[in-house]
A and B are shown apart, each in its own frame.
Chain A
Amino acid sequence: MTALVIAEHDNTSIRGATLNTVTAAAACGGEVHVLVAGHNAGAAAQAAAQIAGVAKVLHAEAAGFEHGLAEPVAAQVVALAGSYSHLVFPATASGKNIAPRVAALLDVAQVSDVTKVLAPDTFERPIYAGGAIATVQSLDATKVLTVRTTGFDPAAASGGSVAVESVTTAADPGLSSFAGSEIAKNDRPELTAAKVIVSGGRAMGSSEKFNGVLTPLADRLGAALGASRAAVDAGYAPNDWQVGQTGKIVAPQLYIAAGISGAIQHLAGMKDSKVIVAINKDPEAPIFSVADYGLEADLFSAIPELVQALG
């Protein structure tokens, strides 16, 4: 029994979510191998070889893998699948895109958003925006999983030292091509890996106020910025800041919700945070029912005051 983790990487380094995925794969009970499918991705493969607990790294190299398109990457995973009992992806935008394509090509079901491994074939996963937890058993020979990074601690990024094996590249089905991307560059930590998150809701009122009020606090705490769906829909914050059922699932040490009422869809994305602070004018806001510390106040005065108090 061996699990293959499909690494998420940018061809030079391994993304953090891969480390949590290695921990989840190890919980399935066997050896853990990591696949790095990329273009000029030797550095990423070397980085994968350092991850503690990994027994082998497979490196597949092709120009078509550069942007991680689903069609060629899925073909590569399928070509290797015969040697593995588990194919494990992080439940990120990339993993969610590729994993079901792999599962269907193998004619097996997929278990999405695994939060706990109970046995090699039995897993826990949230349904209904986290309103219920299902325990499910996969009846297929090969288990295809996506795992919630918040459910598993990251494996150590260093300490391991295993061989990197080059594997034969699978043929690219040639159905898709990359036409460009707009990735925001900033120095903030990644939302899903941040220790502290400052999140704003509809009450922020405008994009200017969202940034003007929350950025100083995020800077002071070294935090990532997040948003509720209402704030994103209103155009106050970019799409990929959305925390919730259909956005990012986060579990930082500290989550500060400013002007967020707390719809169940939002709570689904952040209720596993260690400490939750809610700042809201409305004493009845549902966010207070999950907050460790609630401050009933106007955020436009409370947040600057908080920044000042933190020095």
Chain B
Amino acid sequence: MKVLVPVKRVVDYNVKVRVKSDGTGVDIANVKMSMNPFDEIAVEEAVRLKEKGVATEIIAVSCGVTQCQETLRTAMAIGADRAILVETDVDLQPLAVAKILRALVDKEKPGLVILGKQAIDDDCNQTGQMLAALAGLPQGTFASKVEVADGKVLVTREVDGGSETLRLTLPAVLTTDLRLNEPRYVTLPNIMKAKKKPLEVLKPADLGVDVAPRIKTLKVGEPPKRSAGIKVPDVATLVAKLKNEAKVI
């Protein structure tokens, strides 16, 4: 069974982004970029499925600018076998990415597609579900445990109040939550090996996909600032403030 793992290049999670003064977006020039952390978990899960003998080949996919090749090399250093970059300078929105991935699902026919549940830049949490809809596949989102057996996949999902387990027919689309696994560290020999793995570059037009944006960003602004309050010397003062000043207890 092939496993397709889409990965996104995003601003590193340690970077505190700055809003551009002209209100057109956030400043990502000269900012450290990394693989979306949830996508790293997705690659790790695919590699573990291969180590268990469930998956036979892992294909990493990224959609976006040329530099996404770096993200794909990282995925291959973790253990993906080959990679596909669907290259475009257009600012891709989740629906467009889902359409690209759907075309690749038709072409590669994977048994599972494993994606991160959300990207930490636009925080949309849409692409996996959209891909599942377009490809007519079941979805197991926010997965914390995945077991493949008897032509089905059993997915434990993080939901409000606890967890639930679903049984999905294969092929299926899964999205990862934080506790699915802890991605391994990438070693230097694996980075070297990844450089030699095949990386194919396509354009959205090669797949017949229209990637025009459907949502227009009118403005990007600073969030309302919350100013620091006061430090209280002891518990008694804290209780007095909460009772008399804030009136919340």
A132 and B19 within 8 A (CB): yes
User: How many A residues face the partner with a CB closer than 8 A?
Assistant: 90
Give chain B's interface secondary structure class: mixed
User: How many B residues face the partner with a CB closer than 8 A?
Assistant: 81
**Does chain B have a CB within 8 A of A238?**
yes
B223 and A126 within 8 A (CB): yes
A112 and B126 within 8 A (CB): yes
B136 and A173 within 8 A (CB): yes
**Does chain B have a CB within 8 A of A295?**
yes
**Does chain A have a CB within 8 A of B167?**
yes
User: Which of A180, A239, A293 contacts B165, CB < 8 Å?
Assistant: A180
How far is it, in angstroms, between the C-alpha of A130 and the C-alpha of B121 when the chains are bound?
10
Q: In the complex, what residues of B have CB within 8 A of residue A254's CB?
A: 242, 246, 248-249
Q: In the complex, what residues of B have CB within 8 A of residue A103's CB?
A: 95, 126, 130, 133
How far is it, in angstroms, between the C-alpha of A288 and the C-alpha of B229 when the chains are bound?
8
User: Which of B123, B165, B214, B228 contacts A291, CB < 8 Å?
Assistant: B228
B98 and A181 within 8 A (CB): no
Q: In the complex, what residues of B have CB within 8 A of residue A92's CB?
A: 160
**Does chain B have a CB within 8 A of A229?**
yes
**Does chain B have a CB within 8 A of A62?**
no
State whether A179 and B169 are in contact (beta carbons under 8 Å apart), knowing that A108-B214, A264-B16 are contacts in the complex.
no
B137 and A175 within 8 A (CB): yes
Given contact pairs A100-B128, A180-B164, A246-B38, a sample of 11 additional A-B residue pairs in the complex whose CB atoms are under 8 Å apart: A93-B158, A94-B160, A103-B130, A104-B98, A104-B133, A134-B219, A175-B138, A178-B165, A245-B120, A292-B230, A294-B232
A-B contact pairs, 13 of them (CB 8 A): A93-B158, A99-B126, A100-B128, A103-B95, A108-B95, A109-B215, A128-B120, A135-B220, A136-B215, A181-B159, A240-B161, A289-B228, A294-B232
B interface residues with partner A (beta carbon < 8 Å): 11, 13, 16-17, 19, 26, 38, 93-95, 98, 117-118, 120-134, 136-142, 144, 154, 157-169, 172, 177-179, 213-223, 226, 228-232, 234-236, 238-239, 241-242, 246, 248-249
